[in-house]
């Protein structure tokens, strides 16, 4: 039977996780300490003092987990390698036992007919490098390229899909700006440095990677509340200016250097006001602008803002003085994020228009809800509705010309949701943390059917 909504032939279906969020085994086989180990142990930083020490115990349970992925019909599994597992001190010799784990994981994925998509940096920086300045130090970019080369040397005979960075905005602006993520630094100048040095690390690493190259960014259309209701709403000059600034900080700060070899003027102006531009050296943008095959999109909700009528204190991000981040009415996830699938089609169409030379893939999309276990089921109809709406938005964007190649749900499992600990559950598979039992939620079974028919009924 032909589904109501059918995706193009060869559309990629998968699911994603990240090392610190699922692996556990934090002290095994020579793994070094990461900034998240340290941050999670700092009182008050992570809800209820949760840590990634055990997480989903994926490190030991990966054979069963791969079988589960195969049962769901996934064609791709996106996971990240943990830098401190591979290079425990951040720089220096690689740890063969750390690499062995990824070897085993890749082999079992391939045996199950699942393509591994490897992300090289999903936020678990070795603590030893943080002690030397972390991403505010230029050296970290070079150490990242060395570590990436070590992973590539071990796995590239079987892995041909590589993502350098995951969400450098979050690492820079939540890790070094607001401090709600590791390493917990609160300094605007450090945030801009961390952003640039990650981009430099991306470019340096990309020069030595072969296969299909991806850079994954968290992106969102930046809109006023009125534009959510009416796409054609005419903006005031102040709102238009507010949108330009926030879009530059959130989206173009990473897109333009990586894909065009330039920084948006707004970002340079704002960074200049917050510590200067000395960290950007001649030649950096040429290094950063490496040919990539796919732009990875992590989308959860639009960024809703407007020019503030009165004073707004303090600014949410550096450079957003006078701009209000608006909470809008309507359905929300357990994270308090608004559910607006049309934001995804809007984003995809815009990216295809503004950056036409790169293919697109959704590397993350999904939602946390307050799931209930009923007998042997998790009837998470809110998550099914969320995924259904966003897949329809993907389909719409393809119909409007977006070159979207695939969709990877976030996340395969409930896992360590950073500062929220284990309280927020994004998985399509439930984890009972006391027993480590895996229970596919209704959304997982629904997703299996979507994959099977390459479309939605
Ligand atoms: O869990 C995170 C993931 O690590 C990065 N993207 C957003 C997800 C949900 O917050």
3-state percent helix, strand, coil for the chain, nearest multiple of 5:
40, 15, 40
Catalytic residue among 23, 130, 324, 364: 364
**Domain span at 387:** 5-220+333-456
Active site residue 167: yes
Does residue 316 lie in a domain region? no
Cβ proximity of 366 and 382 under 8 Å: no
C-alpha 167 to ligand 1 mean position (Å) = 9
CB hemisphere CA count around 149 (13 angstroms): 15
Residue 268 lies in a domain: no
| Residue of the CA atom closest to atom 2 of ligand 1 | 417
- Residue 241 domain flag: no
Q: Are strands 303-307 and 12-16 parallel, antiparallel or unpaired?
A: unpaired
Q: Read off the tokens for 184.
A: 């917990």
Give me the catalytic one of 130, 167, 266, 324: 167
Within a domain: 402: yes
**Dihedral sign, Cα of residue 248, residue 317, residue 185, residue 37:** negative
pLDDT tens, residue order, the chain (457 aa): 688 899 999 999 999 999 999 999 999 999 999 999 999 999 999 999 999 999 999 999 999 999 999 999 999 999 999 999 999 999 999 999 999 999 999 999 999 999 999 999 999 999 999 999 999 999 999 999 999 999 999 999 999 999 999 999 999 999 999 999 999 999 999 999 999 999 999 999 999 999 999 999 999 999 999 999 998 999 999 999 999 999 999 999 999 999 999 999 999 999 999 999 999 999 999 999 999 999 999 999 999 999 998 766 688 899 999 999 999 999 999 999 999 999 999 999 999 999 999 999 999 999 999 999 999 999 999 999 999 999 999 999 999 999 999 999 999 999 999 999 999 999 999 999 999 999 999 999 999 999 999 999 9
Supply the DSSP symbol for 87. S
Ligand 1 mean position, distance from CA 34 (Å): 18
Ligand 1 atom closest to Cα of residue 123: 4
| Residue 281, domain member (yes or no) | no
What CATH number has the domain bearing residue 53?
Answer: 3.20.20.80
- Residue 151 within any structural domain of the chain: yes
- Is residue 228 a part of any domain in this protein? no
Q: Is residue 400 flagged as an active site residue? A: no
Between the two ends of the chain, the Cα-to-Cα distance in Å is 10
Q: Please indicate, yes or no, whether the overall pTM of this predicted structure exceeds 0.85.
A: yes
Residue 162 lies in a domain: yes
CB of 414 shorter than 6 A to ligand 1:
no
The token duo for 344 is 């995804």
Task: Indicate whether residue 298 lines ligand 1 (CB < 6 A).
Answer: yes
Nearest atom within ligand 1 for CA of residue 418 = 1
The domain total for the chain is 1
Would the CB of 124 count as within 6 Å of ligand 1?
no
């Amino acid at each position: 039977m032909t589904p109501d909504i059918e995706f193009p032939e060869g559309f990629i279906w998968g699911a994603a996780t990240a090392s610190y969020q699922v692996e556990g085994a934090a002290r095994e086989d020579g793994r070094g300490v990461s900034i998240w180990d340290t941050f999670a142990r700092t009182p008050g930083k992570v809800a209820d003092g949760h840590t990634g020490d055990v997480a989903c115990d994926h490190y030991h349970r990966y054979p069963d987990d791969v079988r589960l992925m195969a049962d769901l019909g996934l064609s791709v599994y996106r996971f990240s390698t943990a830098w401190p597992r591979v290079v425990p001190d951040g720089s220096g010799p690689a740890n063969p036992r750390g690499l062995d784990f990824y070897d085993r994981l890749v082999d079992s994925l391939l045996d199950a007919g699942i393509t591994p998509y490897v992300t090289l940096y999903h936020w678990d920086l070795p603590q030893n490098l943080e002690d030397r300045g972390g991403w505010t130090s230029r050296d970290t970019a070079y150490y990242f390229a060395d570590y990436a080369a070590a992973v590539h040397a071990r796995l590239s005979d079987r892995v041909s899909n590589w993502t350098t960075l995951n969400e450098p905005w979050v690492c820079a602006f939540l890790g070094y700006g607001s401090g709600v993520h590791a390493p917990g630094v609160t300094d605007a100048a450090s945030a801009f440095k961390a952003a640039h040095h990650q981009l430099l690390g991306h470019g340096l690493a990309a020069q030595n990677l072969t296969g299909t190259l991806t850079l994954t960014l968290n992106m969102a259309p930046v809109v006023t509340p009125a534009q959510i209701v009416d796409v054609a709403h005419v903006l005031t000059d102040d709102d238009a200016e507010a949108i330009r600034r926030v879009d530059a900080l959130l989206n173009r700060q990473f897109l333009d250097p990586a894909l065009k070899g330039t920084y948006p003027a707004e970002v340079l102006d704002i960074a200049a006001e917050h510590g200067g531009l000395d960290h950007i050296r001649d030649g950096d943008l040429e290094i950063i602008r490496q040919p990539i095959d796919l732009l990875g999109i992590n989308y959860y909700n639009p960024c809703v803002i407007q020019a503030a009528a009165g004073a707004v204190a303090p600014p949410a991000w550096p450079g957003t003085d006078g701009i209000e981040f608006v909470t809008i009415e309507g359905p929300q996830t357990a994270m308090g994020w608004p559910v607006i699938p049309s934001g995804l089609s809007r984003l995809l169409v815009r990216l295809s228009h503004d950056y036409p030379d790169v293919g697109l893939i959704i590397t993350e999309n999904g939602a946390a809800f307050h799931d209930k276990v009923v007998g042997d089921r998790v009837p998470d109809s809110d998550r099914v509705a969320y995924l259904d709406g966003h897949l329809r938005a993907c389909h719409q964007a393809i119909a409007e010309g977006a070159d979207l190649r695939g969709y990877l749900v976030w996340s395969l499992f409930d896992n360590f949701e950073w500062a929220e600990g284990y309280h927020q559950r994004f998985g399509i598979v439930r984890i009972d943390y006391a027993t480590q039992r895996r229970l596919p939620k209704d959304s997982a079974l629904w997703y299996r059917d979507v994959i099977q028919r390459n479309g939605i009924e």
